[in-house]
Structures are given as structure tokens and as C-alpha cells.
Structure 1
Amino acid sequence: MNQCGLCERDLEAGYLCPGDTLALGERLERMPKLYGALAGFLSPAVRATTEFVSRSHATASLPVDEAVLDLRYGGIALVLEGWRSDVQRVRGWGEPAITGDVEERVRRAARWLGMELPWIAAAYPAAGDLACEVRELEGAALSIVGALPDRGRRIGQCVAVDSSGVICGAVIRHQPGQTRLVCDWCHCVYATEQDWLLLLHHQPAESA
């Protein structure tokens, strides 16, 4: 019998319990939004109104907040890409290509890890360490930006197919009163009754 690598709950098989797998997926989904929110806190003056740790009056303010800078330009992207690289190594795949600006890298790595979560939970021995580091990363970002706005109810995964035949798979959420949904990743629009039926009909079994 195995134990969950994060909460140490006994498992019949695998390395991450269902609850911690779900929580990790939600944290990965939030990561690009947290990355974007950090941009508004690069200036120490902006953060000063929300932080509770007093700073010495003898210390001059820096032109940017180092904690935010570390998360925005290295921290988040490097952590997620490092885990993606290790998962691919364990699976016998090559190194992932690192392209685009930092924001795009965060989105790509978070989305890839989210899509690989079933395998990670079931077959990746370091799943607990991955979940722990992503949780700590989110905690560091939330300590700066505070709570994110309500993201709405999860409807399922985007079922749009690109020109190469790959299904998007990004999470689609619904806010009260919304009649038109747009995928954050591929920008597919769901606006008509037929669109909604198509979206619900083609959900994976675990998301339906």
C-alpha cells in the first residue's frame, strides 16, 4: 500500500490522493492568473498598503519589489517548467521546448502539467513534492496579491479541436448570468444552445 505524497493518507495505488490531485489541478489552473495579478505589485509602494510586515524606516525603498520580481521573472515559470521537464524525463520523453515570453511559458507549463495530472497522481513518485512546491508557490503569490476574484463554476473542458486534431482541454468556467463563454486558452466561443450541448456532450468521463 502506498501513501499520498502530500497528506500521507494511505492509498491502494498511486502517489497522490484524489483530494490533493484536485487541489493541485486547481492551483495549476490559477497560476497564470496569479502571475498576471503580480504585475500590479511590482512597485513597493503598491504593496505597502496590503502587507502587514513592517519595514525599517532606515531602509530605502527599491524601485521594484524583489519578492514580486522573483516570482514574475523566474520563480513561477522555472518551478513549473522544472517539474514538466522531470515528468517528461521519467516518462522517457525529451526535454520540453522553452519558447515565448514568461507569461506564455507559465501558461504553457501549467496547462501541460494539468493535462498530465492523471498520470502524475497514478505513476509519478515525486507527485507529492510537485504538489507541495506548487502549493508553496501559490501561497507566496497570494501573500502579495491577496485572494483572487471568484472564478465561477467549473463547466468542463474546452472541446475545440485545432488544425492538427488536438483537443484544447482548457477549463471552462461560468459566472452567474453569463450567456457567452470564451475559452481563456484558445478563445473558442460558446454562445448558442448548440454550442453548450456540444461542450457538455464531449466532456471526458471524469468531467461530465
Structure 2
Amino acid sequence: MRTEAGLVGVLALIAAVGAAAPAEAQHQHHGGAQGEQAVSPYAGMQARSIKALSEQQMADLRAGRGMGMALAAELNGYPGPVHVLELADALGLAPEQRRRIQALREAMTAKAVPLGERLIAEEAALDSEFAARTVTLASLEVATSAIGRTQAALRAAHLRYHLATVEVLTQAQVRRYGELRGYRSADARRQGG
């Protein structure tokens, strides 16, 4: 009985220390002891022209690059047209396959670029409202809903072309693509999976 009570006490102490650790870590991350200057991971971003987007992100959006929007497809065996073209020789693409994948890449870019430009404009408008201190709950709802719709359309545009690309490739080319991109583990290769 006494051992059981001691064990409960030790477990309670461990739980209390464990609960305090994240709070202390967060305190240290955001400035540490009283009087120290807090350093945010956002420091320096206040100088961006659009606070929510880096220059690289804007360049990627303007060029129609995927920015990881199609990872659900890419990492589940649905190659994208841009990377397939980069690996065309290693994949042994036939001339007709290369032509079709190139057409898909061009169509994807034609769809993604205007959406990227729209997203930049919508983020700039939201940023301007906050900077001018004119944002309201109503305008915030309108702006973020528009941004969300554009982000969804942009992501769907990228994912759609991954679906179309896999239809042009053979199963062997899709497997080889995964290997070349480093997605298939050594275990899967040994097991033939």
C-alpha cells in the first residue's frame, strides 16, 4: 500500500515536471528571462512587400511552380509533368510521351500562373488593409475566403496535372520515377515493392 502511494506521488511529480517543460521551453523560445529582448522567427519579415509571402514564394507563384502543393500526388506515385520532363531520358520517354508531357506542363503553367498572380494580389490587398488599419471582421472574412478559394484552385490545378501525367507513363516508368526521386526505400526495392 505504501509503495503504491509512493508510486502515485512519483508519477504526479513526473507529470507536473513534464507539464512545466513545454511552457518553459516556449518561454525561452520567445524571449527567455524578463528583460531580454524576444526574438521571433518572424523577425525581418516585417520588411516584406507582402508580409505573408516571401520574394521566393512570389517568384514561384508568378512562374507557376508547385511549391509543394501537389505533394499528395507526388509522394503517392503520381509524377508531375515538370519533374518527368527533367528525368525524361532516365525514364526512357518515347517522343510521343515527351510531347504529351510537355503539353501538360504548358497547360499546367498556363492555368497556374494567373491563379498565382491572383493569389499575390489577394494577399497584397489583405496586407494593405492591415497596414492601413482599415481591416474589419467583415472585410477579413471576404479577403480570407477569396484567398482560400484561390489557394484551392491553384492546388487543384497542380494536382490535376499529376493525374494526367500518370496516364501518359507506363507503370515501369512511374516506379522508376519514384526511384529516381528517392521515394522508394531500399527495403521496398529489395522486396520488389
Larger proportion of strand: 1
Greater per-residue helix proportion: 2
TM-score in terms of structure 2 length: 0.31
TM-score for the superposition, normalised by structure 1: 0.29
